[in-house]
Amino acid sequence: MRADPTRSILTALFLFAPGCILNTAFPYNPRFTDSNGDGKSYFDGDCDEWPGHAGRPVIAGQGIYENLQEAVDAAKDGDVITVCPLPGTQEYGGLTVIEGKSISIVGGDDPDRIVLNGKDAGSTIRVADGSLTLENLTITGGTGTRYTADGSQEVLGGGIDAAFATGLTIENCIIEANSAQFGGGVFAPVIEGAETLILDSMITDNEGSSSGGGLYLTLGGQIIGSSIYRNRSANAGGLTVTSGTVTITASEIIANTASSNQGGGGALVLSARLNSEASEWGQGDTNNTPNDLMLTNSGGTRKSYNDKTSDETFSCDGSVPSCSWKQRGEGFSPSPLLSR
């Protein structure tokens, strides 16, 4: 395992950021109602009342667009892009880039209905600048963004590359079957002060060839009511935390695999802190391999932990490295999404 896997990543990120190409927004759709008499047609954000727009991205009060990138390019700071599903499952191919704005992208009430598929062409969603909230979506088929500096390359964020985001919220989403070198499912922000929140979501079957199969956190964050399940990587199957504090509450970190015996099956904590409360870390067939936690400090001292249970509250400090814990006895109360 590399002594400090974040050094080359952070060097690459702050020296180079790929640009993006903006598209022209599709005109207003005349099927919408002219609700305020200004000659333009509007959508009120309610999928049930407007069947004519199903399957296409819409911005309330602004218009309907041919594809998600056009809607993102047309969105203003604070806008919500709604993708209302057709019957069954709708798949959007291609990559989506968010730059210079804070927006939300929201699917129907079931994340299985709207699928964003990167089709192995790069990060399915990349936040080049600004903040992003994702709700009720499936993110799949991403292979990461390539960053180059000083002759070396790193590939980050298979499903979601949010390295330059000022904030990232993922709610009721499925991040599935993506791959990258670091952060197969998600690479979280590195910008100082950025916050990451993962709520009622599933991160599963992703691969990080080096570290962070499911999730790579450089500043910590919050994981609530979510599942990090059956992800794999050389050094950290479920998630990697390199600094700050990650707090995991009422979640599952199970059946993840690190191929290195010096890695963390469930989580690799590098001179950072991890707090876990009422969360499941795998038993029997759902055990993480080769362990639940591997703590590694800057001096290279390692300590691993196994068989963490849902009725324990514990706190780990990778800089020591050690964990302390106490019994809660309240058990595990999963999000409905975890029963899938």
Mean pLDDT of all residues in 171-199: 96
Mean pLDDT of all residues in 204-214: 98
Alpha helices by DSSP H, listed for the chain, are 5-15, 68-74
How far apart CA 42 and CA 217 sit, in angstroms, is: 39
pLDDT (0 to 100) of residue 256: 98
Answer whether residue 183 is part of any domain: yes
pLDDT (0 to 100) of residue 332: 39
Answer whether residue 172 is part of any domain: yes
How far apart CA 199 and CA 191 sit, in angstroms, is: 21
Contact 92, 118 (CB under 8 A): no
Answer whether residue 120 is part of any domain: yes
pLDDT (0 to 100) of residue 61: 77
Tell me the pLDDT tens digit for each residue of 100-157: 999 999 998 889 989 999 999 999 999 999 999 999 999 999 999 999 978 889 999 9
**∠ CA 8-13-17, rounded to 5°:** 145
pLDDT (0 to 100) of residue 51: 53
Is the C-alpha dihedral spanning 33, 34, 40, 45 positive or negative? negative
Answer whether residue 262 is part of any domain: yes
pLDDT (0 to 100) of residue 327: 58
**Least confident range of 6-20, 121-135, 157-171, 197-211:** 6-20
Answer whether residue 274 is part of any domain: yes
Tell me the pLDDT tens digit for each residue of 26-85: 233 323 443 444 444 445 555 654 555 567 888 887 888 888 999 999 999 999 999 888
In this prediction the pTM is 0.84
Answer whether residue 141 is part of any domain: yes
How far apart CA 193 and CA 188 sit, in angstroms, is: 12
Residue 303 structural domain: 5-24+77-339
- Average pLDDT of every residue of the chain: 83
pLDDT (0 to 100) of residue 46: 58
Answer whether residue 68 is part of any domain: no
pLDDT (0 to 100) of residue 23: 28
Tell me the pLDDT tens digit for each residue of 331-340: 434 444 444 4
47 φ/ψ angles, rounded to the nearest 5 degrees: -60, -35
How far apart CA 254 and CA 280 sit, in angstroms, is: 7
The total domain count for the chain is 1
**Least confident range of 53-62, 153-162, 175-184, 259-268:** 53-62
Residue 289 confidence (pLDDT) above 80: yes
- Longest CA–CA span in the chain (Å) reads 69
Residue 157 region by backbone torsions, left for phi larger than 0, else alpha for psi between -120 and 50, else beta:
left
Answer whether residue 312 is part of any domain: yes
pLDDT (0 to 100) of residue 48: 58
Q: Which of 215, 190, 314 is nearest to 266 (CA)?
A: 215
